[in-house]
Chain A
């Protein structure tokens, strides 16, 4: 069983829509959860970092962790074409374990 499961999409939305991305993880001991954004032919960029359960907001981005259901979410409000990228969720103990990544396209 993979440590992190993520639907690879792809996901296509019109500009201004809310993008909703989700992952599940297998080990209830995980405490640190990340979302990375990766543009084509670039390295992953850390977007959000959450410890334990709860919500964290940063501008148009909101990360949620529900440890009871082992569910991680990322919401992007008022999506822009520049948000078109692959979004990777990750859990961290001594290393990062990544989901497969969801490719998002925001249509102008």
Chain B
């Protein structure tokens, strides 16, 4: 079974621009979560989508948004990019058969650099 895929793998943007990152979960997985990883803050939860609805949200500003499609694929968008948004953005999927999001499997990430 194919793992979680993320595109693009690398991205360079300029401050003030916006960016859209894409995630395809493991086949059959319905929950998709997004995380930001930086050297200073580590891995931090952004949000989680299930059945095309944002179910949970972390402590990030409204510039960070996402959506999920009917095939469970998800996108996240960051508007008005700031230098501090440079990070590895990770997507994780889980089966979520029981209503929880316990075993989460990560993709390779998208490395975003803001200049």
Q: Decide if A and B are genuine partners.
A: yes
Interface residues of A (CB under 8 A from B): 32, 34, 36, 41-46, 49, 88, 92, 94-101
Whose C-beta in chain A lies nearest to the C-beta of B57?
A95
- B residues near A, CB below 8 A? 4, 33, 35, 42-43, 45, 48, 55-56, 58, 90, 92, 100-109, 111
Pick the contact of B48 from A41, A94, A100 — CB < 8 Å?
A94
Please classify the interface of chain B as helix (H, G, I), strand (E, B), loop, or mixed, using the class held by over half of its residues.
strand
Query: Is the Cβ of A96 less than 8 Å from the Cβ of B42?
Result: no
A49 to B102 CA separation, bound complex (whole angstroms)? 9
Question: Using Cβ atoms and an 8 Å threshold, which residues of chain B touch A88?
Answer: 43
Cα distance A32–B96 in the bound complex, in angstroms: 14
A97 CB contact (under 8 Å) in B45, B55, B105: B45
Asked whether A98 lies within 8 Å of B42 as measured between CB atoms, the reply is yes
Chain A residues with CB under 8 A of B109: 42-43
Distance in angstroms from A22 CB to nearest chain B CB is 17
User: By CB atoms of chain B within 10 A, which of A45, A95, A97, A98 has the most?
Assistant: A95
Select one of B33, B42, B103, B106 contacting A45, CB under 8 A: B106
